[in-house]
Amino acid sequence: MSGLEDTRAYYDEFSKRYEDKRRPNDADGYHALVDDLEIQLTERYALGRDVLEVGCGTGLILERIRRFAKSAKGIDLSPGMLALARERGLDVTEGSATKLPFDDESFDVTCSFKVLAHVPDIGKALAEMARVTRKGGVILAEHYNPMSFRALAKVLGPAGKISDKTNESAVYTRFDAPWSLGKILPPGTRVEAARGVRIVTPAAAFMRVPLLKDVLRRAELALCDGPAAIFGGFYIAVIRKA
């Protein structure tokens, strides 16, 4: 199989368990924290606007974006993931991040969370996101950050399981340092801000400890948009299209 087909098969398999540890079972835990920080940033730029989520998965994020956006569309490589998104009544399309099936300048905000790290040609994906974004619009591009507790945990710890027979090591994964993003940005765009997610949380398990999870959540919310963002396990670049 090609790399694209391998990735599609991986996420089709993952779709069967993808939501097991997410909402509503994780209403005040790790995944909820990460989702909330991504959603809050999206709402800052996308309130009342046309939004595309690249790599929408089962639609957990897109479903919430739809509540404040003028319109919300999603695209994903995996039919298995999209089947669950469609059950939520979401407007989603099957396709690749490196070849978006939308016209130029179709959206005010184009966002992607936990997806670009699994795209070998990330420069092409960002160029496609910029192409479909209107002039003056925003691209929210989340990267896996090597300068983080999360990256250390991924290096030292065992790969997480997505099924009984497959773990996370089966999919291509890249880490892009915040200061290296200028090398992969499309022409006519610039990073104007950033948000760090999972800055001080050493591992997801810490968010299951009573009291400690509240301390960590408050710390993450306080630090996410400041200088400490550069240490976020998930580093979201706010990219403005000229």
Q: Can you give the pLDDT at residue 23? A: 66
Given the structure tokens 């909402």, which residue do they identify? 23
Cα dihedral 233/117/155/9 (nearest 10) = 130
Q: What average pLDDT does the chain have?
A: 94
pLDDT tens per residue, range 11-47: 999 999 898 878 667 777 999 999 999 999 999 999 9
Type of residue found at 15: S
Main-chain phi, psi angles of 35, to 5 degrees:
-60, -45
C-beta contacts of 187-191 below 8 A and 24+ residues apart: 188/130, 188/241, 188/242, 189/126, 189/130, 189/139, 189/239, 189/240, 189/241, 189/242, 190/239, 190/240, 190/242, 191/237, 191/238, 191/239, 191/240
Q: Can you give the pLDDT at residue 209? A: 92
pLDDT tens per residue, range 133-169: 999 999 999 999 999 999 998 887 788 888 888 988 8
| Helix extents (H) in the chain | 3-14, 30-46, 60-68, 79-87, 122-131, 149-156, 212-223
Q: Is the pLDDT of residue 203 over 60?
A: yes
Of residues 224 and 4, more confidence is placed in: 224
Q: What is the pTM of this model?
A: 0.94
Q: Is the pLDDT of residue 2 over 70?
A: no
Strands lying side by side in the sheet with 234-241: 91-94, 71-76, 50-54, 107-112, 133-144, 234-241, 189-197
Total structural domains in the chain?
1
Q: Can you give the pLDDT at residue 1? A: 39
Average pLDDT over residues 84-100: 97
Q: Can you give the pLDDT at residue 20? A: 85
89: left (phi over 0), alpha (psi -120 to 50) or beta: left
Shortest CA distance to 95 belongs to which of 138, 56, 148? 56
Give the domain CATH number at 183.
Answer: 3.40.50.150
Q: Can you give the pLDDT at residue 120? A: 95
Q: Can you give the pLDDT at residue 24? A: 67
Average pLDDT over residues 98-105: 98
Cβ–Cβ < 8 Å for 199, 232: yes
Cβ–Cβ < 8 Å for 196, 224: yes
Type of residue found at 94: E
Query: Domain limits at 188?
Result: 3-241
Average pLDDT over residues 187-213: 94
Q: Percent of the chain at pLDDT above 70?
A: 98
Q: Percent of the chain at pLDDT above 90?
A: 81
Considering only 18-27, 101-110, 121-130, 131-140, which range has the smallest mean pLDDT? Answer: 18-27
CA distance 141 to 151: 18
